[in-house]
Chains A and B, each alone.
Chain A
Amino acid sequence: MPAKINYKKCIGCGTCYDLCPLDVFAWDKEKEIPVVAYEYECWHCGICWMECPKRAIDITYPASFW
């Protein structure tokens, strides 16, 4: 999985949902947390990972990048 949210660290600030260039995230209004909704559209740019104020998102690169 490319962008993975660690919900223990996530504070629900919405930065990842706000910034993702491909709009891979959706917003869960009830729980007020971001969800990876279109994970196969992730192109691994790392913007969510670098902008997350709590470092609650990790990017795992696909095996063929190795």
Chain B
Amino acid sequence: MALEHIADRVLETDVLVMGGGIAGCCVAAKAAEHGLNVTLAEKSKTDRAGNAAMGTNYYVVGAKPREGLTALELVKQWTATLHQVPTKTGLPEMGRERLSDLNILYEIWDKGLWAVEELEKLGVPMKWPDGEYRYVKDQLRTGKFDLTLSILWTNVKPIMAAAVKKRGVNVLDRTMVVDLLNSNGKVVGATAVNTRTGQFIVIKAKAVVIATGLFSRIYNGDMPQTWNYKFHYHWNPATVSGDGYAAAYRVGAELANMNMTGHGYIVDELAMGAGLLGRTDGVPGKILTWRGEEVTMTNARTSISKLAEMEQKGRTPLYMSGEDLPDDYHKRVEVALRDMRLASLKLAEDRGFNPRTHRYEISPIAPFTFYLAPGVNIDRDYKSLLDGVYTVGDCAAGLHGAYMAAPCGFILGENLPSITKNAGEPVIDEAQVESQKQAVLAPMAVKDGTEPMELECAIRYICDRYVTMFKSEGKLREGLRRLGSLRREFLPRLMAKNPHYLMRCLEVRNLMDLAEVHINACLERKETRGNYIRLDYPEMDRTWDNMITIQRLENGKPVVEKRLAPDLEPEYAKEEK
């Protein structure tokens, strides 16, 4: 049967970009600038999609060679932050750890200032209206150099969407890419669904770039449970169902670091913007117990066990506050927190929030989902294990955050002309399209079945109860068993009353695959290191130094292995002038 008879719509393009957030827009704009035919598919609306949908307010620029700060220095400092692990004495021990290929990190830091220029070419404001760059003090990295820009990015997404369209990118909004298509060992396109019309779309492509977000929705959100509303802020917008991770995994790509969770504590509900309080350093905000005793916490990654211990000893809640600090500090905070998400400001106003006197409650136990590390395992050219699939931004292992998304998007965009030139014409296996179509549209035919949110809540319950921050083999195995029964009993009964709910059903399918991958990775890593805690293996296992977990499907069976994250190449590692 001809492709046109199976699909409602067939498109052909040089490059298919999956996801219209910062990474997706940067890669699409750059590739289109080089004359490529680029199609960008976004599940929501590119003008307000992705992590920066509501805006964001800081950007780390990377190396500043003129001031003497090299990419090498930054790579060293980055890994040094990771190396700290908690010990019984309370002093951090150095445990060697890497989250990805250090050479990718090197290139991103090295090209940071170039990426800032490229963003400006897209019309994105990096300076303040007075024409100045505003650097804020950054305690995370170096005391000597200021790397973090305070940026006025409330409208970054509408600006980027316009820039992408102006460069001729074919933007398909409300189009969720569901599965990738492969033939002869190569990915040649994808199948997608329009989330409003239910139209089934085939997109042939010489290269597929995955630029989608995290899969945080396998856990409940960071904010308090709110009556009926099940989509919360997860330190990322609520669209995060790991669509790119799952599609890549199902077609045979490798996922790395899937055991990693975030820092493990949240800073009360105003965290939408106040997460930056710690970044506005120079003068650190104190952390106090409810009795007013000061608590020292050297590093976010070392503090989870300590917070949990204080909870058990009855010393919580803990608060962070800047109320005793000098005026100068508050002025700096105002610069750093300027132009945070307007919704946070509204919430603050509704609550009668005063930044000078507010005590931010720090909740110790909740996992704060995925932050640093998980993603598709890629090589130095952002290529996955599979030919034809490239990954940037939050979907790439170790490259999270706007300041990683933009440079890697631009770098890959520069390389796409030569990649697509050598790719050959995409040949589609029609039988594969047909079987994907049947699987994708199946929930539309189910009556009296299971609502997608019911199943999603069940998955979140399993992850919150049996995985979460403090893991042990018994709980992980029970979680896996429960997940298996959900998959058997409920996945085939998922019901979509309309295309909108079909999108939710497909998201749940992705979350289920990824929750399983997550638990399997946690079972494999039998040690405690940084914020990764196995109660049954409380010591650091030095054989895991610089190692990451890698997972893939082989003949339909999940495989987990332990692999070294690549060293810095000698030409990068040597001291620079």
- Which B residues have a C-beta under 8 Å from some C-beta of A? 44-45, 47-49, 53-54, 154, 174, 195-196, 221, 223-233, 237-239, 269, 341-343, 346-347, 350-351, 453, 500, 503
> A49 CA to B224 CA in the complex, in Å?
22
A13 contacts the other chain (CB 8 A)? no
Instruction: Please tell me if the beta carbons of B346 and A45 are within 8 angstroms of each other in the complex.
Output: no
6 A-B pairs whose Cβ atoms sit less than 8 Å apart in the complex = A19-B48, A21-B53, A38-B500, A43-B221, A62-B229, A64-B224
Instruction: Please tell me if the beta carbons of A43 and B500 are within 8 angstroms of each other in the complex.
Output: no
Known: A21-B44, A45-B54. A59 touches B346 (CB 8 A): yes
Residue-wise interface mask of A (33-66) relative to B, using a CB-CB cutoff of 8 A (1 in contact, 0 not):
0000110111111110111000000010111111
Instruction: Please tell me if the beta carbons of A43 and B232 are within 8 angstroms of each other in the complex.
Output: yes
Instruction: Please tell me if the beta carbons of B238 and A21 are within 8 angstroms of each other in the complex.
Output: yes
What are the residues of chain A within 8 A of B350 when measuring CB–CB? 61
A10 contacts the other chain (CB 8 A)? no
Instruction: Please tell me if the beta carbons of B343 and A42 are within 8 angstroms of each other in the complex.
Output: no
What are the residues of chain B within 8 A of A2 when measuring CB–CB? 229
Known: A46-B343, A46-B346. A23 touches B195 (CB 8 A): yes
Classify chain A: how many residues form its interface, as a range. 20 to 34
What are the residues of chain B within 8 A of A18 when measuring CB–CB? 45, 47
Query: CB-nearest residue of chain B relative to A26?
Result: B500
> A65 CA to B347 CA in the complex, in Å?
8
Known: A64-B227, A65-B226. A19 touches B45 (CB 8 A): yes
The minimal Cβ–Cβ distance linking A27 to chain B, given in whole angstroms, is 9
Instruction: Please tell me if the beta carbons of A65 and B239 are within 8 angstroms of each other in the complex.
Output: no
Known: A45-B343, A47-B54. A21 touches B49 (CB 8 A): yes
The minimal Cβ–Cβ distance linking A49 to chain B, given in whole angstroms, is 7
What are the residues of chain B within 8 A of A40 when measuring CB–CB? 228-230, 453
> A49 CA to B229 CA in the complex, in Å?
18
Select B351's contact among A38, A47, A62, A66, beta carbons within 8 Å: A66
What are the residues of chain B within 8 A of A42 when measuring CB–CB? 229, 231
Instruction: Please tell me if the beta carbons of B342 and A62 are within 8 angstroms of each other in the complex.
Output: no
Known: A46-B342, A46-B343, A61-B350. A20 touches B231 (CB 8 A): no
What are the residues of chain A within 8 A of B239 when measuring CB–CB? 21-22
Instruction: Please tell me if the beta carbons of A43 and B237 are within 8 angstroms of each other in the complex.
Output: yes
